[in-house]
Each structure stands twice: as C-alpha cells, then as structure tokens.
Amino acid sequence: MTNALNRLLDIAPAPGEPRDKDWGEVERTLAVRLPDDYKELIGIYGGSNWDDYLYVLEPNCPNKHYDLLTWAKYQADDLEDLWKFEKKPAELEAEGATVVPWATTDNGECLYWLVLPGREPNEWTVMVNEARGDRWEHYSGSCTRFLASVLDGEFRSNILSSLFPLPTHQFRRLAAV
C-alpha cells in the first residue's frame, strides 16, 4: 500500500468490505493498463465522493453516472472534438500522448491521468481540466497522491473549487441511484 493511500485512510477510514474487480477485463475494455494505486483505491473506497465535491470514477460503478468505462469512452471523443477549436495542453503535444479520466467534480472539472508513450501506468501523473474553459493544470504525482495532497492541504489546485477541501472531510461510497 502506498504512502498516499495510507494518508487517505487517515482522512477517511475504509468504508467497509473491499470491492473486487476483474481488472483484466477493465483494462482490455480501456485498451490500457491502469495504475496499481488506483486499483487499490477502488478496492478500498470504490467509486466515491470526497468532501461533497470530487467523485472518483469506478469501473462498473453502482452509480452509473460515475462509471470509469463510460467516462473514458465519451471523454476521448469529446476531447478530440474540442481540440479542433482549442489548443492542446503542452503535455499532450507529444506523439501518442493522451489522457484517461479517473475523477470529476460537481462543477464539471475532469481529472485525468497523463499517459505518455513509454511510461508505465505507475508513472502516470495527473492533469486537471477546468469545466468550461481551456485551462489545464499538471500535477507530478499519482492519482492517490494528488487526492491525499489536495485533501490534507499539501497541494492547492488553481482550477478546483476554492471551497474544496472542506475543513472537516466528508466521504461517501457511491451507490446505485
């Protein structure tokens, strides 16, 4: 278990039984391997809401609105359309660079893994895109490190809501609607 995941457990104790996933099937569907820390995060927390703002996407999430597989499919199409009109962030200019979503917010910001050719999934970093604009922010760490760093105040995003995180953290596992 990573240090970042241990920090998250200090912020919000494990909510119950671990969730098992067929990661092989998920990764075949996405056509990419996913970072180990994300798999551990989902195993412990599942699809989840943090401080009533940030939603961690889960493959086959009980709440269909936060299904990683659906988000990945539609975000790829939406971004390709968007880049016909807006400039790609510099981090995505390299041949073969792409992003895969792993979280979203109440305001519509999307958090992605930055996938670069030759980089292993455990080396992927985080990109945050503002909801209705062309601003992007790069964080040089894993998704669990990003989440822990934002929640404990170590990192302050210039894109995410100024009201996030809450002074007293709130966590809930996403359930079917």
**pLDDT tens by residue, 138-148:** 999 999 999 99
For the segment 27-45, the average pLDDT, to the nearest whole number, is: 96
Q: What percent of the chain has pLDDT over 90?
A: 78
Per-residue model confidence as pLDDT tens digits over 38-48? 999 999 999 99
Secondary structure percentages of the chain, helix, strand, coil, to 5: 35, 20, 45
Please report which confidence band the pLDDT of residue 174 belongs to, taking 50, 70 and 90 as the band edges.
very high
At residue 176, does pLDDT exceed 90?
no
Secondary structure E strands in 67-117 = 98-105, 110-115
Residue 100 in 3-state DSSP? strand
Q: Which domains does the chain have, with CATH numbers?
A: 3-173 (3.40.1580)
With a threshold of 0.75, does the pTM exceed it? yes
d(CA 128, CA 115): 13
Residue 135 structure tokens = 């601003």
> Largest alpha-carbon pair distance within the chain?
45
- Long-range contact list for 74-78, CB < 8 A, 24+ apart? 75/99, 75/100, 75/101, 75/110, 75/112
